[in-house]
Amino acid sequence: MIRASRGRDWPLAGGLIAGAIADAIAGDPERGHPVALFGRLMTAVEQRVYADRVGSGAAYAAFGVLAGSGPVLLGTRVTRTRPAARAALTTATTWAVIASRSLGTAAGQIGTALTAGDLAGARAALPSLCGRDPQYLDAAGIARAVVESVAENTSDAIVAPLIWGAVAGPPGLSGYRAVNTLDAMVGHHLPHYERFGRASARLDDVANWIPARVTGLLAAACAPVVGGRPGPAWRTAREDGPHHPSPNAGWCEAAFAGALGVRLGGLLSYSGRTQHRPELGSGRPPLPADIGRAVRLSRAVTASATVLAAAVAATGPWPEMPSPRCGRDVPDNGIE
């Protein structure tokens, strides 16, 4: 018989919290970051297997997910009956895959440059946060780009991995991060990647569908941190978010717009191609000071998402499989 077990995975819950705290204190390592190493590996693989075909891109994506989650899956198997080691593995993996501190630091540097009137410095720093063409942006355009990127990356680089970690353990953390990194590398609407990157882009859409909406809900709930109101912020997310061309990013950006009382969307440029995004929110255009407010909101969402993920990990009714030898319920510390 399979029965549900509650409150049994404290190593996972504690590791998620400890990893989030480690990221908040220490941030990303300057050298040897696992995500950067994974990116180099997949760049080398792309150079060998690239073909302008959907099938080639699907094989590339499948290999990437296996490469990103395989070592951690092995570690999970090894530490399955060792709670302290499992907690340590979860802590290290969480620290490696979320990026709250680096997101706030990058956004803050651009905000500081704009506040000082250093438009050239802000333009030079923008590529560290998003892929827009900075040479076409004035101070208002950069402020809007930063707020939108903080909102989207709060979901992609923080909330989503925490949720996947809560329901699938350390392999969920690393597997999700592999999917998101592949999308960032090849999931673009550019001639070179339109077919090859399609599988990576669609996989990322699926992986982020629930986390994006959770991010919107948490951003609305945390709106008072930046002087907003939860009701209007959530209404903006529900009404304006679905108009965004991305099935997920609009929910995060619209919730942030509603919480901050600003208007996002409009004209933007990627790789020399101009696009017009639907407007999100009904407030004023973002100012440089709104960058700091967006970072504060992101940190509040991060804290809320960490507590939520830990609660899901600790109390979720995960199935407990019977012993293959005698049919009795065998307690374990892992999630399969």
219 located within any domain: yes
| Domain assignment present for 159 | yes
Q: What is the pLDDT of residues 158-191, one digit of tens each?
A: 999 999 999 999 999 999 999 999 999 999 888 8
Stretch 112-137: mean pLDDT = 91
Residue 220 CA to residue 297 CA, distance in Å, equals 10
Q: What is the pLDDT of residue 28?
A: 85
Q: Is 319 inside any structural domain?
A: no
Spatial separation of the C-alpha atoms in residues 112 and 118, rounded to whole Å: 9
Domain range for 280: 8-314
Q: What is the pTM of this model?
A: 0.89
Per-residue confidence at 5, pLDDT binned at 50, 70, 90?
Answer: very low
User: Where are the strands (E) in 11-104, listed by range?
Assistant: none
pLDDT, greater one: 196 or 128? 196
DSSP 272-332: TEEEEEEEE-SSBPP-HHHHHHHHHHHHHHHHHHHHHHHHHHHH--EEEPBPTTT--B---
Q: Where are the alpha helices (DSSP H) in 126-197?
A: 139-154, 160-186
Domain count, the chain: 1
Adjacent-strand bridge partners of 268: 275
Question: Residue 81 falls within a domain, yes or no?
Answer: yes
Q: Is 270 helix (H, G, I), strand (E, B) or coil?
A: strand
Which of 181, 162, 42 has its CA nearest to residue 93? Answer: 162
C-alpha 260, offset from chain centre: 20
- Mean pLDDT, all residues of the chain: 89
CA distances from 64 to 1, 38, 76, 331 (A): 36, 9, 19, 32
pLDDT above 80 for 96: yes
Beta bridge partners of 277: 266
Q: Has residue 8 got a pLDDT over 70? A: no
Is residue 3 very low, low, confident or very high in pLDDT (cuts 50, 70, 90)? very low
Q: Is residue 3 part of a domain?
A: no
Q: Is the dihedral of CA 242, 219, 236, 269 positive or negative?
A: negative
